[in-house]
Amino acid sequence: MGNIEKSLGELAEYLDAELVGDANHRINGIADLQTASASELSFINQESYAQYLAECESGAVILSDDFADKYNGNKLIVSNTYLAYAKVSALFESLSALPAGAHPSAVIATSAEVHPSAAIGANCVIGENARIGAGVKLYSGVSIGDRATIGDNTLLHPNVVVYHSVCIGSNCIIHSGTVLGSDGFGFAPVRGGWEKIHQLGAVIIGDNVEIGSNTSIDRGALGNTVIGDNVIIDNLVHIAHNVKIGKGSAIAGCVGIAGSATLGEGCTVAGAVAINGHITIANNSHFHGGTIVTKGNTEPGVFASAPPQQDVKKWRRNSVRYTQLDDMSSRIRQLEKQLQALLAQNSADKS
Amino acid sequence: MGNIEKSLGELAEYLDAELVGDANHRINGIADLQTASASELSFINQESYAQYLAECESGAVILSDDFADKYNGNKLIVSNTYLAYAKVSALFESLSALPAGAHPSAVIATSAEVHPSAAIGANCVIGENARIGAGVKLYSGVSIGDRATIGDNTLLHPNVVVYHSVCIGSNCIIHSGTVLGSDGFGFAPVRGGWEKIHQLGAVIIGDNVEIGSNTSIDRGALGNTVIGDNVIIDNLVHIAHNVKIGKGSAIAGCVGIAGSATLGEGCTVAGAVAINGHITIANNSHFHGGTIVTKGNTEPGVFASAPPQQDVKKWRRNSVRYTQLDDMSSRIRQLEKQLQALLAQNSADKS
Amino acid sequence: MGNIEKSLGELAEYLDAELVGDANHRINGIADLQTASASELSFINQESYAQYLAECESGAVILSDDFADKYNGNKLIVSNTYLAYAKVSALFESLSALPAGAHPSAVIATSAEVHPSAAIGANCVIGENARIGAGVKLYSGVSIGDRATIGDNTLLHPNVVVYHSVCIGSNCIIHSGTVLGSDGFGFAPVRGGWEKIHQLGAVIIGDNVEIGSNTSIDRGALGNTVIGDNVIIDNLVHIAHNVKIGKGSAIAGCVGIAGSATLGEGCTVAGAVAINGHITIANNSHFHGGTIVTKGNTEPGVFASAPPQQDVKKWRRNSVRYTQLDDMSSRIRQLEKQLQALLAQNSADKS
């Protein structure tokens, strides 16, 4: 930050916001309400932060009508504050753009088609018959397998690996260390070991998909693993062969999705969730962090399974009881029967 | 697919199958029963798919005697359908073979021994005294540390890292982003921090081992981390220092195995399992997805710990009760005592 | 091992230990009590290993006064055995040092400042205005983004990726495949998808930090993700944007920490723990393996949540009961009421 500067007038126009204040005031970054300086922009979208408005030294605050009266400084009034913050964040992105063309150290197969506007970083390797679209940016050390396709304006950070025949759409961002198209975990059991099932499908990734770092998406066994348009996937996520993820779904960090699971559109999967294979999850399903998803569902819903956090001493005692739950249930049943018999007897005795 | 073509006669011979149908019919790929075209091969090994046989347009179906009467098209009759599918999948593998020899951009220490039949891809780096066996394939960006050994016909996908002194057997496949031989997590506590315990052992990997992408296997502290022959390991698996995994075991995605744990032979560990350190697990033990394995076992068995998936409202209520389990158990005990006393009293009153 | 040799006299001086035995005896490695040969050093710090002392063939044993009388061979008597083992392990480290200077295949921006004593391995890529301190070692294939800073004597193993503006302190070790500074998982929801919130902060890592392989640490959205001095982090750990980790804390493998969580100083987080976002955890908190941490705490404590490992048949029955816990609790409450009423009635009948 620091190199990019915009006037509040420019920002108001960019955001289609109502500006109250000095249109010539210049902004060179974004910060939160408590720490923003006069050259930085802030935003507020929760009542709990309203306490900071009085002392706020920000150059301007993005806010909705609800908060407009509570702030006296420069303000940009919008209908969707969080979306406005997202949009303005793009202006202050500090990742340097790669220049178009291929770095001399890149190794590009002669049969590969690389659009002249694409940027190919140092030590990238591009395989036979691969196609690299317009405006693509491959940062250093990216490996693109034979016959893989990278759609227009997609950006791959250093050391991403794309296996052969994988197809990535347009306007995607893939972070470092992520591997797309490794073999699915498919083996036929044989005496003492396993016979590999060669994974003949590919991975098909839609448009506007972002994938975090060190995530793995396996190619299909037969047919493809498919990630829909507008899906967002975080770091260290494992997506097994032939998984399908519907449009617009969000998968947080450390999630694992087993083979041939189908996740609908508009789902959110919180961190550290594990989803079983060969199940189908309905559109607009939501899973809390740490859920072990063992079965599919057909209606939208919110699901969880994580046991509660406890002090370790309490946890030890309750854990023992957990292993006795079925017995506890039988004892309750037995008590109910005995008590009912006793009450019936008492009633009979009295009549 | 599409470049490789086999006649059904050739496939029958390769699979040692009984062919019923046209030996000259040509096949160029594999697909499932529902989508296979006349140039593709299918297979059926579950009754639930028998419904698709009638409309199947596949060029031929691999099946066992049980299904032979239910299909009228070309068929390859075998005793183990899934194994036959595995074997035939190898014929249609679409990963391009690397040519023998080293790419000019590879950096190979003069003291390294590289077999002339080995293929060393672009930007690979091979350290001092490393040994690369016959038919080895290192795809681009692979790093091989000093004194590491790669056995014959082993294949490392792009950007695999093998640290110094790690030894990999023959006929292994290691997928991209996987790291073999990083330091184990060993530290002695000191005031305010930690004194590193240098990890002086290595990683020893047997023959016919496949390891997925972005998996980490740490070197031993003293002595080695050991992965037996015919072990298969999926993506994003963490194997800590001095772990031993017995022959033929299978470890699914997102599993973590803590230091000095010993897993027997023929075990299967489903996804997202976490195994405690310093425990010993018997041969032929099996763990369901998401199990937290806190203790070892001495006999084969099947183990689980994941709590059930619930609607979030039900989950919230039951979670509160979970933290009261020990209290609930005491209350049941108290009820039993009171009821017993009451029944004894009633009995005494009547006598 | 094998190339480095020290006399027991030298080792005693290095460890500030009392040597009982032959000061000229030479040692070239470390092994455990059961397997150590006459040229290797061992240590004992647990009573359970005392049984091995009688048959031990080690060249010398590091031990405390407690064990000194139980062993007749050469011994190095120290006050903290485990710390002494850690210190001596450094002497036998077998990772080859990289020579100072840049490998000819490295691609270094002209505006980058690289200290002449730094070692830059093959195929490293260093961005504009990056600063690489004295004695830094970058092994092969490391990518350093624009304006990133690597402190003195820090070591990055092959294929580590450091994004732009990330700042790493001195004397750190970062293992292969680890990614520092990828974008945090921040998006504003829009109809059918997500608007990216550009991540404008960085990652700041203190001194003496060690990070394992294939770990991901995201850059801050606004402000930084901060890892304190003397923190140790294992493999396959996910640390989201704006997380703060206090000095001296230890994070084991497969842990995930969600956005804006703050972990205090001196905490230990065992394997496969998942920590919720936007919570604050007190100094000296400790979490057992597999805990799902949903809420913060203000006092030191030990916490757990993992359900107990069970035989699968027992687990199935108890899992059903888990989903009935709230109902079971109500039934106990009902039984208590009924029994109390009955007892009161009996008492009234008798009076």
pLDDT digits (tens, 9 = 90+) for C174-215: 999 999 999 999 999 999 999 999 999 999 999 999 999 999
* Chain C touched by A238 (CB under 8 Å): no
Whether residues C191 and C137 fall in one domain: yes
N- to C-terminal Cα separation, chain C = 89
* Chain A touched by C215 (CB under 8 Å): yes
Residue B64: inside a domain, yes or no? Answer: yes
Band of the pLDDT at C350, cuts 50, 70, 90?
Answer: confident
CB A123 within 8 A of CB A106: yes
Question: B14 in helix, strand or coil?
Answer: helix
**B contact residues 328-347, partner A, Cβ 8 Å cutoff:** 328-329, 332, 335-336, 339, 342-343, 346
Residue C308: inside a domain, yes or no? Answer: no
**Measured at the alpha carbon of residue B197, what is the angle toward residues B192 and B203, in degrees to the nearest 5?**
140
Question: ipTM value of the model?
Answer: 0.97
**B contact residues 19-48, partner A, Cβ 8 Å cutoff:** 29-32, 35
Distances, alpha carbon C175 to alpha carbons B35, C88, C229, C330, in Å: 45, 22, 17, 53
B-interface mutation test, from C33, C52, C315, C340, most B Cβ less than 10 A away: C315
Residue C165 has pLDDT above 50, yes or no: yes
Q: How far is CA A158 from the centre of its chain?
A: 19
A-interface mutation test, from B92, B94, B339, most A Cβ less than 10 A away: B94
* Chain C touched by A218 (CB under 8 Å): no
How much is the pLDDT for A98?
A: 94
Number of domains chain C is built from: 3
Residue B96: inside a domain, yes or no? Answer: no
Burial of A343 by CB count in 10 Å (0-12 exposed, 13-18 middle, 19+ buried)? middle
Whether residues B331 and B188 fall in one domain: no
DSSP, residue by residue, C106-136: -EE-TT-EE-TT-EE-TT-EE-TT-EE-TT-
Q: Final residue of a domain: which of A91, A124, A144?
A: A91
DSSP, residue by residue, A114-125: E-TT-EE-TT-E
Distances, alpha carbon C266 to alpha carbons B240, C290, C303, in Å: 22, 19, 15
Tell me the C-alpha distance between C120 and C131, whole Å: 12
**A237: CATH:** 2.160.10.10
| Chain A residues whose beta carbon lies within 8 Å of the beta carbon of residue C182 | 157, 175-176, 212-213, 235
**A35: CATH:** 3.40.1390.10
Backbone angles phi, psi at B232, to 5 degrees: -120, 135
Whether residues A130 and A153 fall in one domain: yes
Q: pLDDT of A298-317, one tens digit each?
A: 999 999 999 999 999 999 99
How much is the pLDDT for C111?
A: 98
Classify residue B48 by its DSSP letter: G
Dihedral over Cα of B118, B120, B121, B124: its sign: positive
What is the least distance, in Å, from the CA of B255 to any CA of chain A? 10
Whether residues C71 and C124 fall in one domain: no
Q: pLDDT of A123-173, one tens digit each?
A: 999 999 999 999 999 999 999 999 999 999 999 999 999 999 999 999 999
Q: Please, how many CA atoms are within 13 Å of residue A336, restricted to the half-sphere of its CB?
A: 12
Rounded to 10 deg, the angle between the A325-350 and C312-322 helix axes is 50
Tokens of A291: 């859920």
Low-confidence residues of chain B, pLDDT below 50?
Answer: 1-2
Contacts of B163 (CB under 8 A, 6+ apart): B145, B148, B179, B180, B181, B182, B203, B219, C95, C157, C176
Band of the pLDDT at C221, cuts 50, 70, 90?
Answer: very high
Tokens of C328: 């079971």
Backbone angles phi, psi at C81, to 5 degrees: -65, -45
How much is the pLDDT for A210?
A: 98
Which residues of C are designated catalytic? 241
Q: Final residue of a domain: which of B47, B71, B91?
A: B91
Residue C220: inside a domain, yes or no? Answer: yes
Residue A133: inside a domain, yes or no? Answer: yes
CB A246 within 8 A of CB A265: yes
Residue A291 has pLDDT above 60, yes or no: yes
Name the closest residue on chain B to residue C176, using Cα atoms.
B179
- Report which residue type is found at B66: D
Whether residues A204 and A142 fall in one domain: yes
| Chain C residues whose beta carbon lies within 8 Å of the beta carbon of residue A93 | 198, 200
Tell me the C-alpha distance between C157 and B123, whole Å: 16
Tell me the C-alpha distance between C265 and A256, whole Å: 30
CB B159 within 8 A of CB C141: yes
Residue A1: inside a domain, yes or no? Answer: no
Whether residues B35 and B153 fall in one domain: no
Whether residues C268 and C181 fall in one domain: yes
Whether residues B159 and B293 fall in one domain: yes
**Measured at the alpha carbon of residue A41, what is the angle toward residues A37 and A46, in degrees to the nearest 5?**
110
How much is the pLDDT for A1?
A: 41
* Chain B touched by C299 (CB under 8 Å): no
Whether residues B331 and B278 fall in one domain: no
How much is the pLDDT for B351?
A: 74
Which residues of B are designated catalytic? 241
Residue A66 has pLDDT above 50, yes or no: yes
Count CB atoms within 10 A of the CB of residue B298.
Answer: 10
Backbone angles phi, psi at A15, to 5 degrees: -90, -5
Mean pLDDT of chain A: 96
Q: pLDDT of B157-208, one tens digit each?
A: 999 999 999 999 999 999 999 999 999 999 999 999 999 999 999 999 999 9
Q: Final residue of a domain: which of A72, A91, A110?
A: A91
pTM of the model: 0.97
Whether residues C172 and C213 fall in one domain: yes
CB A160 within 8 A of CB A174: yes
Tell me the C-alpha distance between C329 and A56, whole Å: 50
Residue A96: inside a domain, yes or no? Answer: no
Distances, alpha carbon B141 to alpha carbons A103, A163, A178, in Å: 16, 13, 14
Band of the pLDDT at C69, cuts 50, 70, 90?
Answer: very high
Residue C266 has pLDDT above 80, yes or no: yes
Q: Which domain holds residue C59?
A: 6-91
Whether residues B216 and B234 fall in one domain: yes
Q: What percent of chain A has pLDDT over 70?
A: 99
Band of the pLDDT at A350, cuts 50, 70, 90?
Answer: confident
| Chain A residues whose beta carbon lies within 8 Å of the beta carbon of residue C279 | none
How much is the pLDDT for C62?
A: 98
Residue C182: inside a domain, yes or no? Answer: yes
Whether residues C341 and C231 fall in one domain: no
N- to C-terminal Cα separation, chain A = 89
Tell me the C-alpha distance between C199 and C116, whole Å: 33
Tell me the C-alpha distance between A150 and A166, whole Å: 8
Q: pLDDT of C317-341, one tens digit each?
A: 999 999 999 999 999 999 999 999 9
How much is the pLDDT for B1?
A: 42
